[in-house]
Amino acid sequence: MDKFEIHGGAPLEGGIAVSGAKNSALPALAACLLTADPVVLDRIPPVRDIHTMEKLLEHAGARVTIEGEQVTVEADAVQNAEAPYDLVKTMRASSLVLGPLVARCGRARVSVPGGCAIGARPINLHVAGLEQLGATVRQEHGYIEAEAPHGLEGAEVHFDRITVTGTEDLMMAAVLARGETVIHNAAREPEVVDLAALLTKMGARIEGAGTSVIRIQGVAKLRGARHAIIADRIETGTFLIAGAITRGDLHVTCCEPDHLRAFIAKLRSAGVEVSEPVPGTLRVRCGPKLRSVDVTTEEHPGFPTDLQAQFMALMTRAEGISIITETIFENRFMHAQELARMGANIRLEGRQAMVAGPMPLSGAQVIASDLRASASLVLAGLAAQGETVIDRVYHIDRGYDRIEAKLARVGARIRRL
pLDDT one-digit tens code per residue, 118-158: 344 567 888 899 999 999 999 888 889 999 999 999 999 99
Do 59 and 187 sit in the same domain of this protein?
A: yes
Do 9 and 61 sit in the same domain of this protein?
A: no
Residue-level pLDDT at 113: 66
Q: At which of 189, 213, 228 does a domain end?
A: 228
First to last CA, the chain: 8
Residue-level pLDDT at 146: 94
Do 213 and 253 sit in the same domain of this protein?
A: no
- CA 75 to mean position of chain CA atoms: 25
Residue-level pLDDT at 115: 42
Do 211 and 243 sit in the same domain of this protein?
A: no
- Any idea which of 81-85, 110-114, 161-165, 166-170 has the lowest mean pLDDT? 110-114
Give the dihedral of Cα atoms 196, 164, 293, 386; nearest 10 deg: -100
Residue-level pLDDT at 116: 45
Do 125 and 194 sit in the same domain of this protein?
A: yes
Residue-level pLDDT at 287: 82
Do 192 and 169 sit in the same domain of this protein?
A: yes
Do 14 and 73 sit in the same domain of this protein?
A: no
Q: Which residues are catalytic?
A: 116
Residue-level pLDDT at 121: 52
Which segments within 358-402 are labelled E, that is strand? Answer: 365-367, 387-391
Instruction: Give percent of the chain above pLDDT 70.
Output: 97
Instruction: Give percent of the chain above pLDDT 90.
Output: 86
Q: At which of 202, 228, 254 does a domain end?
A: 228
DSSP 315-332: HTTSBEEEEEE--S-TT-
Q: At which of 228, 248, 263 does a domain end?
A: 228
Residue 259 has pLDDT above 60, yes or no: yes
Do 79 and 144 sit in the same domain of this protein?
A: yes
Q: Is 340 helix (H, G, I), strand (E, B) or coil?
A: helix
Do 102 and 14 sit in the same domain of this protein?
A: no
- Any idea which of 26-30, 79-83, 259-263, 282-286 has the lowest mean pLDDT? 79-83
Do 82 and 199 sit in the same domain of this protein?
A: yes
φ/ψ of 199, rounded to 5, equals -60, -35
Do 137 and 162 sit in the same domain of this protein?
A: yes
Number of domains in the chain: 2
Domain with residue 75: its CATH number is 3.65.10.10
- Looking only at the bridges linking them, the beta strands covering 143-147 and 156-158 are unpaired
Q: What is the pLDDT of residues 334-393, one digit of tens each?
A: 899 999 999 999 999 999 999 999 999 999 999 998 888 899 999 999 999 999 999 999
Can you give the residue range of the structural domain that contains 400? Answer: 3-19+231-416
Tell me what the pLDDT averaged over the chain comes to. 94
Average pLDDT over residues 308-318: 97
Do 169 and 208 sit in the same domain of this protein?
A: yes
- Looking only at the bridges linking them, the beta strands covering 295-296 and 320-325 are parallel
Q: Where are the alpha helices (DSSP H) in 40-189?
A: 48-60, 85-88, 98-105, 124-132, 164-174
